[in-house]
Structure 1
Amino acid sequence: MHVEDIKSSLRKKWGSLSALSRHRGKNQNAATQTIATPGYSVPLEQAIADELGREPRDIWPNRYHFDGSPISFRAERTPTVLTCAAHRQNEVTA
């Protein structure tokens, strides 16, 4: 679905996207961020899909695998700085 189609369908039912966010107990910008940002809130993506009567993978095919599981958009990060214990081993004050 196109982003504007999603927004217009939700606005017809809720009046505003922030009303939907507040109804779900989230920040007032949560629905907008969920629509615009992949991986922002998978549970809210599911709630939006329920409101539209569709599956999340039908609305956002690039955010879900073929089996319907969400694609992780988190970057795998490795620490690049020494931990406090490593500082102490090198006799360097933190």
Structure 2
Amino acid sequence: MVCKKDWHPADIKAALEKRGWTLIGLAAHYGIKSSSSFSFALSNSYPLNERRIADALGVPVQEIWPSRYFADGTKRPRGLRGARASRLGAHA
């Protein structure tokens, strides 16, 4: 099984810029005063903004963050639920 790696935050920003977006521009587009929640999503789980970034790139969210999403695009459980699910082999 080949494990894909999450895109590097710099690669996400570069891809956004190639599509005419910045994190500040995305925030403004969605009526958010600060781009910090988009910056946070680059390195931490923030499903809403992960989807917004993926939409701006025209790429499925699971392609950008395979560690956070299953191949079908559903969110991987985190914390105790994630540990329990991985032990049971759920969604393998």
TM-score between the two structures when normalised by the length of structure 1: 0.64
Q: How does 1:1-94 map to 2 (within 5 A)?
A: 1-12=7-18, 13-14=20-21, 16-26=22-32, 27-37=34-44, 39=45, 41-74=46-79
Question: Within 1, Cα distance between the matches of 2:64 and 2:77?
Answer: 17
- CA RMSD in angstroms comes to 2.0
What residue ranges of structure 2 are gaps of 5+ in the alignment? 1-6, 82-92
Instruction: Give, in angstroms, the shift of residue 69 of structure 1.
Output: 0.5
Taking a change above 3 Å as real, the CA distance of residues 24 and 75 of structure 1, as seen in their structure-2 partners, is: farther
TM-score between the two structures when normalised by the length of structure 2: 0.65
4+ residue runs over 4 A deviation: none
Work out which structure has the larger RCO, using CA pairs closer than 8 Å and 6 or more positions apart in sequence.
Answer: 2
Residue identity over aligned pairs, in percent, reads 33
